[in-house]
Structure 1
Amino acid sequence: MSEPVLRVSGLVKRYGPDTVLDGIDLEVAEHEVVVLIGASGSGKSTLLRCVNLQEEIDDGQILLEGEDVSDPRVDADLVRRRMGVVFQAFNLFPHLCVLDNVALAPRVVHGRPREEAERTALALLDRVGLADRASAYPDRLSGGQQQRVAIVRALAYDPRLLLLDEITSALDPELVGEVLTLVRELAGQGRTILMATHEMGFARRIADRVCFLDAGRLLESGPPEQLFTEPAHARTQQFLARIVAAGRL
């Protein structure tokens, strides 16, 4: 059995006296799409930030392709080069056009020649229907377009793991679909993805495995049909009952 791309063991994260992640164990295999669900404040975003080494952990271990990247001696910048991250906010550079936003990291961080970086960026933009917006600046794009650019930017250096943190939460409802369509296409292409979302219907359709977090603990995980139709834990049942009552599943 091959080494998972990501293995999280006994992960603990505290903010002062508050424990926000309490012994998380999680694996993401090659080409697997793992979706984190749970109420706001359950720890989903904090877990993603810890995996990306944006947060120091208090206990546990994070292995990326078998390497202990939670070791304090590890160069966090080198580790992050192997992960693509997209957050709730688009975080595009407003003074750079779309093409330069996408090509910047491959050039500056990964040392690729400008021509190669721009050629790759244009090919990616073409795949998501935004090649004609390559010279536009972010303020000339819709929210959905900006988020698609942010996803393309994360893909520009071919990361081993793609982390997506509530990427539709800042979008108007009519723009959510175009972003989720792109994520569905990436999953179909075999990308390895760990994502947090409040879009339960989407999680059910796209995930290989769904993980339910509550109060910093991973209470339950399994294939989407099993977890959404026959959840074993009482707290999962309660959470999903509210989702169904709200018409979100």
Structure 2
Amino acid sequence: MNERPLIEVRNLRKTYGSRVVLDDISLAVSRGDVVCLIGSSGSGKSTLLRCLDLLEPIDDGVIEFEGREVSDPGVDPRDVRREIGMVFQAYNLFPHRTVLANCTLAPRKVHGLSRRAARSRAVELLGRFGLGEHVDVHPDQLSGGQQQRAALVRALCTEPKLLLLDEITAALDPELVGDVLGIVRDLAAAGTTMVLATHEMAFAREVASRVCFLDGGRVLESGPPEQVLGDPVEPRTREFLRRVLPA
């Protein structure tokens, strides 16, 4: 018997006014999957991630998390987000809190961990990701790469069942991209379930269990990275890859 997907989307539709942003999206993510969303800016990748985290209401379709329909208006999104971690392109760290305080806030306030337990978990993760000497500084004292690593640690401190990553290298200087992607690579190797929007095609080829190409708010092509990135079926996918892959 096949295991039920951790999160599943069926026929999702999202509009802003008269503009259709996501159109008939269906996607199933099993435990341990790493699903990379690729496509041009404006194709719907970020909006899809925000819908998965219930940050955006949907107009039609169903989102199920662990077999429970969570897109129902009667569901409290905060209960669902307890199990999901999301990291944004712009870090979104609290500027008035130290790195450690950023990382311990949700475990304490949302998950009920003691101050000691939350601190112990955060310090261990910050040390693992090269931020052990920066626990007591504020985000504006860190480089962009360090801030993004801190944002990843903050998400991981809640031990999420699903991690959503929205173009987390887009705002970084090129020399910092590999640093952050190395952490994501380690998380994938450890079996972390992730859905990530990315422009890093080589990285997607390496770590993804599945690549989804979005175009005009639709999943135009989906499959293993070697197929979608190496031998795409759809002409639009081939056109996109010709523009973004080195000659």
Range of TM-score over shorter length: over 0.9
User: Deviations 1:17-74 (Å, cap 9, x if unpaired)?
Assistant: 1111000010111001000000000000000001111111000000111110000000
Looking at structure 2, the residues matched to 224 and 32 of structure 1 have their Cα atoms a distance apart, in angstroms, of 13
Looking at structure 1, the residues matched to 42 and 51 of structure 2 have their Cα atoms a distance apart, in angstroms, of 15
Q: How big is the shift at 1:109?
A: 1.2
Unaligned runs of 5+ in 1: none
Looking at structure 2, the residues matched to 60 and 5 of structure 1 have their Cα atoms a distance apart, in angstroms, of 17
Q: 215-224 or 130-139: which moved more?
A: 130-139
User: Deviations 1:188-232 (Å, cap 9, x if unpaired)?
Assistant: 110000000011111111101000000000011111111111100
Q: Which letter does structure 1 place at the counterpart of 2:129?
A: V
Q: What is aligned with 1:84?
A: 85
C-alpha RMSD of matched pairs (Å)? 0.9
Task: Give the 5 Å matches for 1:43-82.
Answer: 43-82=44-83
Looking at structure 1, the residues matched to 78 and 126 of structure 2 have their Cα atoms a distance apart, in angstroms, of 26
Q: What is aligned with 2:217?
A: 216
Q: What is aligned with 2:142?
A: 141
Looking at structure 1, the residues matched to 88 and 60 of structure 2 have their Cα atoms a distance apart, in angstroms, of 25
Looking at structure 2, the residues matched to 212 and 80 of structure 1 have their Cα atoms a distance apart, in angstroms, of 26
Q: What is aligned with 1:130?
A: 131
Q: Which letter does structure 1 place at the counterpart of 2:244?
A: I
- The 3-state SS of whatever aligns with 2:229 is helix
Q: How big is the shift at 1:242?
A: 1.2
Q: How big is the shift at 1:131?
A: 1.1
Q: How big is the shift at 1:129?
A: 1.4
Q: How big is the shift at 1:91?
A: 0.9
Q: What is aligned with 1:98?
A: 99
Q: How big is the shift at 1:123?
A: 0.8
Q: What is aligned with 2:119?
A: 118
Q: How big is the shift at 1:146?
A: 0.4
Looking at structure 1, the residues matched to 70 and 189 of structure 2 have their Cα atoms a distance apart, in angstroms, of 28
Number of aligned pairs? 246
Q: What is aligned with 1:184?
A: 185
Looking at structure 2, the residues matched to 230 and 93 of structure 1 have their Cα atoms a distance apart, in angstroms, of 43
Point out 4+ residue stretches in structure 1 off by more than 3 angstroms: none
Looking at structure 2, the residues matched to 145 and 130 of structure 1 have their Cα atoms a distance apart, in angstroms, of 7
Q: What is aligned with 2:237?
A: 236
Looking at structure 1, the residues matched to 15 and 133 of structure 2 have their Cα atoms a distance apart, in angstroms, of 45
TM-score w.r.t. length of structure 1: 0.97
- The 3-state SS of whatever aligns with 1:126 is helix
2:154 is the counterpart of 1:165: no
Looking at structure 2, the residues matched to 97 and 183 of structure 1 have their Cα atoms a distance apart, in angstroms, of 23
- The 3-state SS of whatever aligns with 1:229 is coil
User: Deviations 1:153-187 (Å, cap 9, x if unpaired)?
Assistant: 00101011000000011111111111100000000
- % same residue: 59
Q: What is aligned with 1:5?
A: 6
- The 3-state SS of whatever aligns with 1:91 is coil
Unaligned runs of 5+ in 2: none
Q: What is aligned with 1:156?
A: 157
Q: Which letter does structure 1 place at the counterpart of 2:89?
A: Q
Q: What is aligned with 1:200?
A: 201
TM-score w.r.t. length of structure 2: 0.98
Q: How big is the shift at 1:136?
A: 1.4
